[in-house]
Amino acid sequence: MSARRQRWEVRPPAPATFIAQLNLHPVLATLLYQRGLHEPEAAHAFLAADYTSGLHDPLRMRGMAEAAARIATAIDRGERMAVYGDFDVDGVTAVALLTQAIRAMGGKIRPYIPHRAREGYGLNNVAIGQLAADGVRLLITVDCGISNVAEVVEAKRLGMDVIVTDHHHPPDELPSADAVINPKQPDCAYPFKGLVGVGIAFKLVQALARYGKRPAHLRGRDLLDLVALGTIADMGPLVDENRVLVRAGLLALNETNRPGVRSLITVAGLTPGAVDSGGVTFSLAPRLNAAGRLDDARRAYELLLADDQATADAIAADLHATNRERQSMTRQLQTIAEELINASGRAEHPLIVLTNPNFNAGLLGLVAARLVERYHRPVVVIEQGSETSRGSARSIPGFNIIELLDQCADLFVRYGGHTAAAGFTIHTANIPVLEQRLLALGKQYLKEELLTPRLLIDAKLPLDELSWDVYYAIQQLEPFGHCNPTPMFMAPNVTVIDPQTTTTGDHLRMRVRAGTNVYEAIGFNFGHFAAALQRHPTVDLAYQLAVDEWNGQRRMRLLVRDFRRAGQGG
């Protein structure tokens, strides 16, 4: 086994005929082929990701025409509207996008983002009642609502029309809204099912333009920075229309006139003009998410639509501090969770369920994700309350967690999610039954092969074949993310030179050599392997490529993802 105890699977290269047809660098052609792009036309379209031709007609989405017509009427009549979203980055960016666009169209619209701790996910009747009392006549949901059957009934009873836009797994019973927009719902002919909440909100703005409602002094492309932020943060698959939107959105983000986004880039320590998908994932999104996890997500909304730089700088600094607190709390809760797992023997279960009253609802998903990485099995983490409790589930590749929760639907107050992630509210008394049922289902569906970690390697790429031509060819696949991961390579028979831990002892710095080629390499969380590599310095290396810039000089370095003794195989 490897250092990470993973089974390496090296994908076969693309057929020679395919490489010849593409007339591209062989490494790039292989990576395209492995992404399922087996026709030259599809491969070239993927690389182009053309904004002018790569987007689908929004009116092909079920419910879109009815929704756009109703909103256009509300704008014309001066009716009061509200856009109601989730408290994560996808929901906040979707609320900001629709609020900004509809106001620029002349509409009277207000945002509503529920408080995670006080209100929980999705529509709630207290908020609905307040909005109705304030004169709201059209309620539009973004990134939520598909499971809120009873709440939609209540909103309509109070005299509001309701438009639901959502991208989560649709339940068997859909809400009786005036329009339901979700490309995953039955009989929706929209060709791409992977849009997240903010992407659907953007398509709604496009549809409104077809009904003659164009935002004054605002182009559709001016909203794409929000689309990129929400789509990357919510792990939308970066293929098809999402790839087009995010690629254009990253350009918009790097040229943005939003004071809030500029401030966020600065506090995150990123370089303006050079923010990529990784910068969004690891730097911008966590700071925006921190508001909803520990405080109030409206702070993130206020940052995105801040009018002046001073206000934006103050909010960004506040979110930066909140994110630092979030990081510390997450580490503490992860330690508690691992102690519970080790003390109870749950590490041997095919699926881990943890319940504790000291868990923080805003951090459940983060802790669950870290435990999945640590134990490589689905994890459900529950904050135990006196009467009701909230839980978050994360899964492993190849296992659909929402389908598992579907088989426990009778136990939940509400639930929803995706293939890889889900959340729920449950009566506390039902938690023991839920754990028993999930464990039984886990034993039934989670076989040993699925629970054995795999490392998918895109290609063998020896160090003596690395070059700037290879690097620039690979960069044509950007933006990287879900369904278009950063390529993973394997270099055989590499000699490790001078492996050392970083100051904290957590990480590993070294040089690696094959022939006369020597590269700097870093392995995050590999620090404890330094001594072993000194004793056995010849390894097969699984790595990704990165670039460092210092004093105007650029150099390639390797990000170590795993290693094993040379020639070990398996």
Q: What is the DSSP string of 362-423?
A: GGHHHHHHHHHHHH-S-EEEEE--SSEEEEEEE--TT--HHHHHHTTGGGEEEEEE-SSEEE
Look at the alpha carbons of 481, 51, 193, 365 in this order and tell me if their dihedral is positive or negative.
positive
Low pLDDT (below 50) residues in the chain: none
C-beta separation of 557 from 544 below 8 A: no
Q: What's the rounded Cα separation, in Å, for the pair 12 and 459?
A: 7
**Count of other CB atoms within 10 angstroms of residue 120:** 17
Q: Which residues of 227-248 are buried (b: 16+ CB within 10 A; e: fewer)?
A: bbbbbbbbbbbbbbbbbbbbbb
Surface-to-core class of residue 504, CB atoms within 10 Å of its CB (0-12 exposed, 13-18 middle, 19+ buried): exposed
pLDDT tens by residue, 69-106: 999 999 999 999 999 999 899 999 999 999 999 999 99
Q: What's the rounded Cα separation, in Å, for the pair 170 and 557?
A: 44
Among residues 206, 282, 221, which one has the least CA distance to residue 251?
221
C-beta separation of 61 from 181 below 8 A: yes
Q: Look at residue 569 in the predicted model and tell me its pLDDT.
A: 64
Surface-to-core class of residue 153, CB atoms within 10 Å of its CB (0-12 exposed, 13-18 middle, 19+ buried): middle
Q: Which residues of 432-457 are buried (b: 16+ CB within 10 A; e: fewer)?
A: eebbebbbebbeebbeeebbebebeb
Token pair for 523: 């392995």
Token pair for 192: 């791409």
Greatest distance between any 2 Cα atoms in the chain: 77
Distance, first Cα to last Cα, the chain: 7
Q: What's the rounded Cα separation, in Å, for the pair 56 and 240?
A: 10
Domains and CATH numbers, the chain: 7-48+454-565 (2.40.50.460), 58-219 (3.90.1640.30), 345-451 (3.10.310.30)
Among residues 224, 255, 248, 256, which one has the least CA distance to residue 54?
248
Q: What's the rounded Cα separation, in Å, for the pair 508 and 501?
A: 5
Q: What's the rounded Cα separation, in Å, for the pair 382 and 19?
A: 49
Q: What's the rounded Cα separation, in Å, for the pair 179 and 200?
A: 13
User: What does the DSSP 8-state code read for residue 484?
Assistant: B
Q: Report the SS3 class of residue 354.
A: strand
Token pair for 282: 């690891």
pLDDT tens by residue, 374-422: 999 999 999 999 999 999 999 998 899 999 999 999 999 988 888 889 9
Q: What's the rounded Cα separation, in Å, for the pair 19 and 374?
A: 38
Whole-model pTM? 0.91
Q: Look at residue 449 in the predicted model and tell me its pLDDT.
A: 86
Amino acid, single-letter form, for residue 2: S
Q: What's the rounded Cα separation, in Å, for the pair 367 and 379?
A: 9
